[in-house]
Amino acid sequence: MLDNTTVTMLIEGTIDTLYMTFVSTIFAYMFAFPIGIALVVTKKDGLSPMGLFNRILDVTVNIGRSIPFLILLIAVIPLTKLIAGKSYGSTATIVPLVIASTPFIARLIESSLQEVDNGVIEAAQSMGASLSTIIFKVLVPEAKSSLIVGGTIAIGTILSYSAMAGVVGGGGLGDIAIQYGYYRYQKEIMLITVILLIILVQILQSIGMKIAKKTDKRVV
């Protein structure tokens, strides 16, 4: 049986994990959305081809996605301290989470926008729609369902990243698993944190997929 202190700690850890996950997701999308749109719009056959810019942006995103999160977590500690005032805790962990997830989310957004039927875009162009109108009134709305699916995947990925941040005192369930389950050999706490993380991922995935299904115009 778990005592009240442990239960309280696990509840607070769950809240911290959700806090890190959702805040990081919001900030990551703020950076990733324009990047994802730019990748689609400036490609060779895009709405506004810009070959050199697209290649530079593409390589930059690939480099960002190639860095393992744990290495990035340690590498950006000086930046984390500069922004958050410290390098540990749930709020500080948001900094590396945003940096790590932005390139990944940008690719998800790019993939979703590329699924939009070219016929719809061509129809908008034939009516003289401006670039911004096509992007925000055609591309994004038409890709809405796929974007929501991508968002669901992103949240699950960021949640798993937040658990890894426990290695450097990042707070949340990951921190509890490391500090108590690993260093203090309390296997039951390690097991409970793993189960809680699985449950959180399943709940978030289920909610996201249901929303995506309801917004999918192809579903009758």
Percent above pLDDT 70 for the chain? 97
pLDDT tens string 73-121: 889 989 999 998 888 888 899 999 999 999 999 999 999 999 888 888 8
Rounded to an integer, what distance in angstroms lies between the CA atom of residue 20 and that of residue 9? Answer: 16
Rounded to an integer, what distance in angstroms lies between the CA atom of residue 164 and that of residue 64? Answer: 18
Cβ-based neighbour number of residue 199 at 10 Å? 11
In CATH, what number does 4-215 get?
Answer: 1.10.3720.10
Mean pLDDT score of the chain: 89
pTM of the prediction? 0.89
Token pair recorded at residue 214? 């309801």
The model's confidence at residue 220, banded by pLDDT at 50, 70 and 90, is: very low
pLDDT for res 40: 93
pLDDT at 27 over 60: yes
Indicate the Cα dihedral angle 39, 45, 46, 50, nearest 10°.
Answer: 70
| Domain ranges for the chain | 4-215
Cβ-based neighbour number of residue 165 at 10 Å? 28
Contact 208, 155 (CB under 8 A): yes
Alpha helices per DSSP H over 42-143: 51-66, 69-75, 77-84, 90-114, 118-126, 131-134, 140-142
